[in-house]
Each structure stands twice: as structure tokens, then as C-alpha cells.
């Protein structure tokens, strides 16, 4: 049985949290049961199923965020937080 497609907040609402230089703050929960993208106070809250090993969770975060924004993954770059839950992504 296929999993239902995740519901995302509107891309405009996510982009509204970006700073003037196009950077977006994320708070990530790896190893979650369900993948989701939610809006927090000044950050985007992302839950991914991937475990935080060998960069799998980071790749899943970028893929999920790109899907929520409707852009290619190549337009998102991890600036800070490769090994932590708080990440900073550059939108280009």
C-alpha cells in the first residue's frame, strides 16, 4: 500500500521565513515515523525518516524541502549544521 503524499505549508509561507540573503533556518528531527514540513517561530520544522548517518538525513532534508518549495535540490545548499539538528540552508 502506497504512503499518502505529505501535505506541505504553502511555498510562499516557507520562503517568508528566509532572511534578506535567502538563508532559511531549519530544525530537523531525523529518524521520525512520518516525514513532514511545518512552520515554527522563525524556523522551518522538518521531520525525516532517514537516520543521521553518512549524511543520509541531510540528503533527505534537502530533498523534502526542495519538494515542499517546488524547486530542484541543486538550488538548496547546506551552509551550516551538517552534524546538528539546527541547520542553515542557502536558497539560490
31 located within any domain: yes
Instruction: Provide the CATH number for the domain around residue 38.
Output: 3.30.1200.10
Mean pLDDT, range 11-25, rounded to an integer: 95
- pLDDT tens digits, 2-16: 566 668 999 999 999
- pLDDT tens digits, 70-89: 999 999 999 999 999 999 99
38 located within any domain: yes
Residue 42 has a pLDDT of 93
Please give the share of the chain, as a percent, with pLDDT higher than 90: 92
Q: Which domain holds residue 69?
A: 19-91
Number of domains in the chain: 1
Q: Which three cell numbers stand for residue 60?
A: 533527505
13 located within any domain: no
80 located within any domain: yes
| Helix and strand counts by DSSP (H, E) for the chain | 2, 5
User: Cell 526542495 identifies what position?
Assistant: 66
pLDDT at 41 exceeding the cut of 90: yes
Amino acid at each position: 500500500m502506497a504512503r499518502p503524499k505529505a501535505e506541505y505549508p504553502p511555498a510562499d509561507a516557507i520562503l517568508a521565513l528566509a532572511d534578506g540573503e535567502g538563508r532559511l533556518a531549519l530544525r530537523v528531527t531525523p529518524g521520525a515515523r512520518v516525514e513532514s514540513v511545518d512552520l515554527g517561530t522563525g524556523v522551518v520544522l522538518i521531520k525525516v525518516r532517514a537516520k543521521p548517518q553518512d549524511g543520509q538525513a541531510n540528503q533527505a532534508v534537502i530533498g523534502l524541502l526542495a519538494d515542499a518549495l517546488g524547486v530542484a535540490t541543486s538550488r538548496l545548499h547546506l551552509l551550516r549544521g551538517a552534524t546538528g539538528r539546527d541547520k542553515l540552508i542557502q536558497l539560490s
